[in-house]
Structure 1
Amino acid sequence: MMRASGVLLSISSLPSRYGIGCFSAEAYEFVDQLKEAGQKYWQILPLGPIGFGDSPYQSFSTFAGNPYYIDLDRLVSYGWLTREECEAVDFGQEEQFVAYGKLYEGRYGLLQKAYSRSHMIQNEEFKQFLEIEKEWLEDYALFMALKNQHNGRAWSEWEEDLKLRDPKALDRKKEELKEDILFYQFMQFEFRRQWKDLKAYANKQGIKIIGDIPIYVSFDSADAWANKELFQFDEEGRPVAVAGCPPDGFSATGQLWGNPLYHWDYHKETDYEWWMKRLAFCFSMYDTVRIDHFRGFDEYYSIPYGAQTAVDGHWEQGPGIGLFQKALELFKDKEIIAEDLGYVTDTVRKLVNDTGYPGMKVLEFAFDSRDSGSAADYLPHNYGKNSVVYTGTHDNETVIGWFCEGLKEEEKEMVRDYLCDHFTPDDQMHLPMVCAAMRSVSKLCVIPMQDLLGYGNEARMNTPSTTGTNWRWRLKKGEFSDELIGKLCSITKRYGR
């Protein structure tokens, strides 16, 4: 990885005509803008179909793609939809925010029409896709068809024979739900085809894609339903314990994520086969992979199933270097970023160092008086070259929201003293922060689009442990202006990126 920079922007946050960012003309335009701005990377959020809380980190499958990202205009160009049909659907009235309820109500109906007109079952490329991807695709499509038949209820609430995957019951449902299954397979085929085209275009323009692999999968997912041996489940398919984070200065009761925990002894016995397939899939989709919650591979926080908070959890030993020795053997020439944020112990630092992967540095963390012990790790003069620096991530306040609303006056002074900047107005402090990240020695610098624009917390992507208002922000057409592109290009050249 050469000294370079990039921009963090979820696919969902792109401008588009139909309620959410997707693989449309605007995505290709954004690639062109990144190139013009001198960037080399585009970091996105997980691409999976979203589940609870509209979160891309709670997906129905670790291998499937989000049907919302399918470009409807391309389906119009195929003759499978008309422009009038697309424009007749209410996708929500707010240009800058995704209305997920409206999307759910409107988009699947259009995709169903496109499928019925596509005669996809006769398409040779589709048949090849079904064969190549059948190891995960058959379970996923059946899972989604069953979920639809059960009015969206989690698989743990299905009939016993379906919940525990009785072969006769599954065969019966495969026949009964044949058309629904094909519809879900069709959406995955079109998603993959459109994504591959967009990624190929980005790569041709000199832009690499950084994708995100969540450490955990959702309990209500095809992965958990079809592969119970991978997880800490009892004989009835119930989790023994679930994932989260302990109480800290940011949350008195910790974070209860609810994801099933891995049965790491089984993974070790199988030489981490499922994880290697997962990584191989990610490298077929992205150029660089950011592994989320890396510290969970050293030690993970285990919370008893049924607990209301994370208070009664405890730490358990993760797989450690064993998993990554296998990964380094199979993917030695691939770029991986370790998301080593949070409470970082000496053993976590050792694991990151032993893998050789660059860890993450977040500028906002450097000026937190509640956590002065580790804050120094995030000050730019303490970085090593083998790191990736961000002003903030999708889970943080925007820089302007953080500076203007989140900091005490003495903390603001700490920031200004460090940056030698006592003149920039509070609502413009994103600019010196972006420059501080850009001029650091970190070999890669990634700036969230909201911080380039200097937006406040109204543009925040996610507030952990909350639901209902997250993952909604979108870039309006024209906001990534020629002026901003020129400014970003100038900063990038100035600091040798």
Structure 2
Amino acid sequence: MGFKRGSGILLHISSLHSHYGVGDLGPEAFGFIDFLAESGHAYWQVLPLNPTDASQGYSPYSCYSAFAGNPMLISTEELYRDGLLDEEDVAPFKKDNEGRADFSFVSKYKAFALEKAFRRFRHGVADKGEFELFCQANVLWLEDYALYVVLKSKYKTSWSSWPKDIRDRHLPTFRSLLKTYSVHLEKQKFIQYVFFRQFEKLHRYAASRQIQIIGDIPFYVNHDSADCWTSPGYFKLNSKKLPRKIAGVPPDYFSETGQLWGFPTYNWAALSRNNFDWWVRRIAHNLNMFDILRLDHFRAFSAFWEVDAAEETAVKGSWMPGPDMALFQELERKLGDLPLIAEDLGSLDEDVYALIAATGFPGMRVLQFAFDENVGINVHSPHLHVSHGVVYTGTHDNNTTIGWFNASGKEEKRRLSAYVGKKVNPKNVHQVMHRLALMSVADIAVIPMQDILGLGEGHLMNRPNSTGNYWRWRMTEEQFLSVFPPMLKKLNELYGRT
């Protein structure tokens, strides 16, 4: 499936400026869509929107549901406009945006706000017909997710440590739990209803301004997740429902010992026997939300790096076969054309290239990877890009372009300057790389917001295989207002991206 030539900006919703501790689905998100439209962009790329928490460092790639939305991204301002909160429920929680998301504060504040909104909802402030339709439309995941959240709150441990009859989902116990916790379950369903209602409103507005939203699907899900508890047979677990095998990647550009992610690997044989039903539902669910989907860690659909759960690094692993074309043939049969982007970075082989060619999905090119000693034949170099592709200056896992340049060696800097025919320095490198991305023949060019703003290493979103306070970067209102949309629009017009 081809995409229209255009440019976009990579900015997670949590990174929007706002007055309540984290970017959310409120007024600033609508304002960002206006900015995209006025500056001649056609795409907004976000990171996964699924729920995460402090135990996972709030990483959007480490979530406890592959279907649910993150309650922290719900806008309390929108709840106020809908009559589900009073002004005094919102105003006291305003706080300065210092360029970092305060997830700890937000999780407590929004828990309070959503509890109050739910009480109002139950007492008839809003029409429940739309809520019931939402619950019916999402019945295949919503009930299990709600019960998982309620039980997780009760037991404070991973589901594999819950009482055996609950852990193993014995039917009489399951039915009893649904009755015992009916009000608590309704609250969790309400929270999801609010999230998806707000996101759908935002998506409709984006469409009205001719902006397409690019979503992102992590390949794996957490062991401690509603999905793993609900469908343990689809994962490689032992008799105690703990992971036997875990996922990662071998040593690569980002780490000498590889990356050990800890996610349980899939039991693809079991998934295949059921026509990949869980994956079909997952992709369909996300295609209802987004215009285009980026499949993270695409190489694992061909073969994935699997490590014994007892290992402490990813070095002692082995490549195991993935579902290959069988999954995508089933997806196409069930869902039709698939507007997907293959994240084809990292350690690849001929089988991966063959799979990408067979699917016809566009791949990714990252300019920060282009200027090594093989620049002349490096597929990330602009002269070797193809139209059916997506080019980035960097991704959420890269340094900012200024940070990358400052950390680069003299030869890499020299090659970049030679390539563009002018002296490149820390003050202009983000502008140079922005232009290189726009002038590429790749259909879509995506620029991280940090590179639009010209920010350094202190503003990166993530550093792979590292611990620390990542995923917290936020754009301030002052930074946002410093960007001049007509200038960006002229660049997009110059390179045929409007």
Tell me the TM-score normalised to structure 1 length.
0.95
Cα distance in 2 for partners of 1:340, 1:374 equals 20
Q: Does 1:106 align with 2:109?
A: yes
Q: Does 1:407 align with 2:411?
A: no
In 2 relative to 1, CA 255–274 (structure 1 residues): closer, same or farther, beyond 3 Å?
same
In 2 relative to 1, CA 9–465 (structure 1 residues): closer, same or farther, beyond 3 Å?
same
Is the 1:45–1:56 Cα contact (8 Å) retained in structure 2? yes
Q: Which amino acid aligns with 1:417?
A: A
Q: Which amino acid aligns with 1:409?
A: K
Is the 1:92–1:102 Cα contact (8 Å) retained in structure 2? no
Look up the match of 1:194. 198
Is the 1:389–1:445 Cα contact (8 Å) retained in structure 2? yes
Q: Does 1:72 align with 2:76?
A: yes
In 2 relative to 1, CA 416–184 (structure 1 residues): closer, same or farther, beyond 3 Å?
same
Q: In the TM superposition, what are the counterparts of 1:55-454 in structure 2 within 5 Å?
A: 55-89=59-93, 93-119=96-122, 123-151=128-156, 153-368=157-372, 372=374, 376-404=378-406, 406-422=407-423, 424-454=424-454
Cα distance in 1 for partners of 2:420, 2:173 equals 65
Look up the match of 2:51. 49
Is the 1:293–1:339 Cα contact (8 Å) retained in structure 2? yes
SS of the residue corresponding to residue 426 of structure 1 reads coil
Look up the match of 1:24. 26
In 2 relative to 1, CA 400–413 (structure 1 residues): closer, same or farther, beyond 3 Å?
same
Is the 1:92–1:99 Cα contact (8 Å) retained in structure 2? no
Is the 2:234–2:271 Cα contact (8 Å) retained in structure 1? yes
Cα distance in 2 for partners of 1:428, 1:373 equals 21
Q: Which amino acid aligns with 1:279?
A: I
In 2 relative to 1, CA 483–393 (structure 1 residues): closer, same or farther, beyond 3 Å?
closer
Q: List structure 1 segments (4+ residues) > 6 angstroms apart after TM superposition.
A: none
Is the 1:389–1:442 Cα contact (8 Å) retained in structure 2? yes
Displacement of 1:315 in angstroms is 0.7
In 2 relative to 1, CA 155–296 (structure 1 residues): closer, same or farther, beyond 3 Å?
same
Is the 1:297–1:319 Cα contact (8 Å) retained in structure 2? yes
Look up the match of 1:464. 464
In 2 relative to 1, CA 131–334 (structure 1 residues): closer, same or farther, beyond 3 Å?
same
Is the 1:140–1:222 Cα contact (8 Å) retained in structure 2? yes
Give unpaired runs (5+ residues) of structure 1.
Answer: none
SS of the residue corresponding to residue 101 of structure 1 reads helix
Displacement of 1:77 in angstroms is 2.0
Cα distance in 2 for partners of 1:429, 1:468 equals 27
Displacement of 1:383 in angstroms is 1.1
In 2 relative to 1, CA 375–197 (structure 1 residues): closer, same or farther, beyond 3 Å?
farther
In 2 relative to 1, CA 467–102 (structure 1 residues): closer, same or farther, beyond 3 Å?
farther
Displacement of 1:39 in angstroms is 0.7
Give unpaired runs (5+ residues) of structure 2.
Answer: none
Cα distance in 1 for partners of 2:195, 2:260 equals 32
Q: Which amino acid aligns with 1:128?
A: L
Q: Which amino acid aligns with 1:392?
A: G
Cα distance in 2 for partners of 1:193, 1:149 equals 28
Is the 1:92–1:98 Cα contact (8 Å) retained in structure 2? no
Q: Which range is displaced more, 177-186 or 284-293?
A: 177-186
Q: Which range is displaced more, 186-195 or 316-325?
A: 316-325
SS of the residue corresponding to residue 376 of structure 1 reads coil
SS of the residue corresponding to residue 385 of structure 1 reads coil
Q: Percent identity?
A: 40
Supply the RMSD in Å over aligned alpha carbons.
Answer: 1.8
Cα distance in 2 for partners of 1:48, 1:339 equals 19
Cα distance in 1 for partners of 2:467, 2:155 equals 23
SS of the residue corresponding to residue 421 of structure 1 reads coil
Displacement of 1:326 in angstroms is 1.9
Write the deviation string for residues 18-50 of structure 1: whole angstroms up to 9, x where unpaired. Answer: 111111111111111100111111111111011
Look up the match of 2:485. 485
Tell me the TM-score normalised to structure 2 length.
0.95
